């Protein structure tokens, strides 16, 4: 799909991987609909990108909230051609820890935002995409989801997060089959450790082993590299139903680190992926 003049909806689009994706697609001529819970970040993103950008405060796990955002996109730009799902949350809790069993409510919240929220947004966006005028190969739309390497290599304390991202990965191919008749492709990116605002909170003591477990290059991922892959997926018409690891070859097992389980206060906020 040619990105120029297409309407791209990006969840979690006001910071981290979502904002990097927004910048990249905007530079290629896309019209942007940024969905995020953080209104201040949305305003900053709109001010930076300026033309052909709207920002909508949205909870991806809420059906009515997403419906309103999609209707706003259609009202403003006429349709939706591209969806990039970057919104998500993280948690850290052992199945049974010092304080007892893993809080069930936290497990449900992570699944609700990361898995249900991803499906909620893509199903509603796909309904609109299917009405587009077909282009080459009868293509009407492209969907890109964000999973994580935790879907395959989950660490201690990541039961909820890994389950949610494993679900995103597992549903990619069935959805590709569902949407084939509508001319819509769907792929998933599974990022490793990226240098997002969340990782900026980590000390060098935490960052060093994360870098060491990456084969090459020996560093954290750059959000612009995630954005580059999203554009490549959009522009490659034969890429469909696939999950792509973007992790610098990270395979080494990582024991629980201090940063992960130092999260004492779990907050229901949509953060950017890359952990």
pLDDT band at 270 (very low <50, low <70, confident <90, very high): very low
Query: Domain range spanning residue 164?
Result: 7-272
Q: For the chain, how many structural domains are there in total?
A: 1
CB atoms within 10 A of CB 135: 15
Q: Give the SS3 label for residue 35.
A: strand
Selected catalytic residue, list 77, 107, 161, 194: 161
Q: Is 133 among the residues known to form the active site? A: no
Tell me the per-residue pLDDT of 8-53, one tens digit each, with 9 for 90 and over. Answer: 999 999 999 999 999 999 999 999 999 999 999 999 999 999 999 9
pLDDT score for 269: 46
Say if 221 falls within a structural domain: yes
Say if 187 falls within a structural domain: yes
Among 81, 91, 26, CA closest to 260: 91
Q: Is the pLDDT of residue 206 over 90?
A: no
Among 166, 175, 190, 170, CA closest to 250: 190
Say if 2 falls within a structural domain: no
Rounded Cα gap, residues 70 and 116, in angstroms: 17
Rounded Cα gap, residues 16 and 38, in angstroms: 12
CATH of the domain at 24: 3.40.50.720
Q: Is the pLDDT of residue 94 over 90?
A: yes
DSSP state of 5: T
Say if 233 falls within a structural domain: yes
CB atoms within 10 A of CB 173: 16
pLDDT score for 198: 65
State pTM to two decimals. Answer: 0.90
Say if 44 falls within a structural domain: yes
pLDDT band at 207 (very low <50, low <70, confident <90, very high): confident
């Amino acid at each position: 799909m040619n990105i120029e003049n297409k309407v791209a909806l990006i969840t979690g689009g006001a910071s981290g991987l979502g904002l990097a994706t927004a910048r990249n697609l905007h530079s290629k001529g896309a019209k942007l609909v940024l969905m995020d819970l953080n209104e201040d970040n949305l305003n900053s993103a709109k001010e930076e990108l300026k033309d052909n950008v709207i920002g909508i405060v949205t909870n991806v796990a809420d059906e009515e909230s997403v419906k309103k955002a999609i209707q706003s996109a259609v009202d403003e730009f006429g349709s939706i051609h591209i969806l990039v799902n970057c919104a998500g949350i993280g948690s850290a809790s052992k199945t049974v820890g010092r304080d007892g069993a893993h809080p069930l409510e936290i497990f449900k919240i992570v699944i609700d935002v990361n898995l249900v929220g991803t499906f909620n947004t893509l199903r509603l966006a796909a309904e609109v995409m299917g009405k587009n005028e077909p282009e080459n190969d009868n293509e009407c739309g492209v969907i890109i989801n964000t999973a994580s390497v935790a879907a395959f290599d989950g660490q201690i304390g990541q039961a909820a997060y890994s389950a949610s991202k494993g679900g995103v990965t597992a549903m990619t191919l069935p959805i590709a089959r569902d949407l084939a008749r509508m001319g819509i492709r769907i792929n998933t990116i599974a990022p490793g450790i990226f240098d997002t605002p969340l990782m900026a909170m980590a000390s060098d003591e935490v960052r060093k082993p994360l870098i060491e477990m990456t084969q090459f290059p020996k560093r954290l991922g750059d959000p612009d590299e995630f954005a580059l892959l999203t554009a490549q997926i959009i522009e490659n018409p034969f890429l469909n139903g696939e999950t792509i690891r973007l992790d610098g070859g990270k395979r080494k097992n990582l024991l629980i680190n201090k940063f992960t389980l130092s999260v004492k206060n779990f907050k229901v906020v949509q953060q950017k992926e890359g952990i």
